Each structure stands twice: as structure tokens, then as C-alpha cells.
Amino acid sequence: MKFFADTAEIADIKDLAATGLLDGVTTNPSLIAKSGRNFMEVTKEICDIVDGPVSAEVVALDHETMMKEAEVLRKIADNVCIKVPLTIDGLKTCKALTSDGTMVNVTLCFSGNQALLAAKAGATFVSPFVGRHDDNGVDGMDLIRDIRLIYDNYAFETEILVASVRHVTHVLESARIGADVMTAPPAVIKNLVKHVLTDKGIEGFMADWAKTGQSII
């Protein structure tokens, strides 16, 4: 499963990229606003750090303007992936862009039917939001199971990009189900390494090593 960071914070992206764990980055208008930086500048900087897809979202709601915005965005770098909403105009834009060889991430997916439409429109990625489903009392991972089954039934090439990931269990369940990608805040990705027994093991090793009075360097 590929790991994308859901952030526009350059320092966090560089930190994760240095681990070799980062396969791409997703951004959205809210994350860009939170960074307090110019949209085009921060997107270009992210693309220079990460070799994989960097999702940059259009803000228009009509097909014609989406296409104009996409034309600007895809000139930023070769690894820009245009992010469009799961609407009729978004799907129309998706079809036009992917037919022209541009990567497209269809976002705000909340049902298997929507995911089916995204695949038929040729989406490179579809982003089902599991955390927002959980917020409304529905198991968001059931949506991932539905999409995996639908896509496998028809051999769709669209990759399932699990979004709105809130905690490490979302990541584990996504991997168990067979999602292609998950995107999460850097803090969630870093939390994957944590385990109380690992911490205790390191503590014990360090205590024993200190007793030897030795040094490696």
C-alpha cells in the first residue's frame, strides 16, 4: 500500500520523504489555507520534494472553469495530479483530463455508487472519506470494502486512495482490505511506528548497554 501525506506543511513533507516511506502528497484548499502560503508556490515546492503524485485541487464547480484551472495546475510539474470533486462536472473534467494523460484524483467519495462512476470516468485515484463516515456513526471501512469488491469485479484500474484517515487503525484496516493508497496527516503516519513493547525493549537495551560503560564511537 502506498503512503501519501495529507498536508501542505513543507517541513513535515521533507521529514517523511527522508524516511523513504512517502509515495505522494495530497493537498486541498483547507490545507493550503492552513499553511498560510501562496497556493502555486507551495504546490511547486512539494512537487520538487516528492517524486510521486501531488494532488492539487481545482476550486471551480463547473466543467469549463475546472478545465481552465487544471490547465494552469498541471503546468506546475509533471507529477501534479488534478483533484476534482465527485460531481457530474467533476466526472466530466476527470474524463477529459485522463483521456489527455493527466492524473486525476476524484475526491469526496462517500458511496460505492460514486466510486463506480469515478472508475468509469477513468479516474487515476478515487478518495473515499472514511473518517467523515465514522463521524456520522457509519463504519467508514465498510465503504472501502465495497469499493474494493466493485473494482475487483470489473478489473477497474482506478486506485482506491483512503482519505480522511484519523488514526492508525484506519491504516491497518485499509491494508487488510487491500486499498491501493492511504493518505493521512504526518502525525498519523509517524504513529504507525509506535508500540509499547518496542519502547520497553529499547529502554531495556539502553539500560544494559549503559552498564557496560562502552561506546561505539
Task: Give domain limits for the chain.
Answer: 2-212
From residue 144, give the alpha-carbon distance in Å to each of 8, 153, 165, 170, 182. Answer: 25, 14, 12, 10, 11
Give residue-wise pLDDT tens across range 32-82.
888 888 999 999 999 999 999 999 999 999 999 999 999 999 999 999 999
Give residue-wise pLDDT tens across range 164-215.
999 999 999 999 999 999 999 999 999 999 999 999 999 999 999 999 999 9
Q: Is 211 marked active-site?
A: no
Give residue-wise pLDDT tens across range 150-162.
999 999 999 999 9
Residues 6+ apart with CB under 8 A from 70: 58, 82, 84, 93, 97, 102
User: Of 68, 83, 194, 200, which one is the catalytic site residue?
Assistant: 83
Q: What pTM value is reported for the model?
A: 0.94
Give residue-wise pLDDT tens across range 122-157.
999 999 999 998 888 899 999 999 999 999 999 999
Q: Taking residues 93-120, what's their average pLDDT?
A: 98
Residue 144, pLDDT score: 98
Q: Taking residues 6-30, what's their average pLDDT?
A: 95
Specify the 3-state DSSP secondary structure of 175: helix
What single letter denotes the amino acid at residue 42?
A: V
Closest CA relative to residue 160, chosen from 184, 180, 139:
180
Residue 37, pLDDT score: 87
Residue 30, pLDDT score: 86
Question: What are phi and psi for residue 21, nearest 5 degrees?
Answer: -90, -15
- Look at the domain 2-212 and name its fold: TIM Barrel (3.20.20)
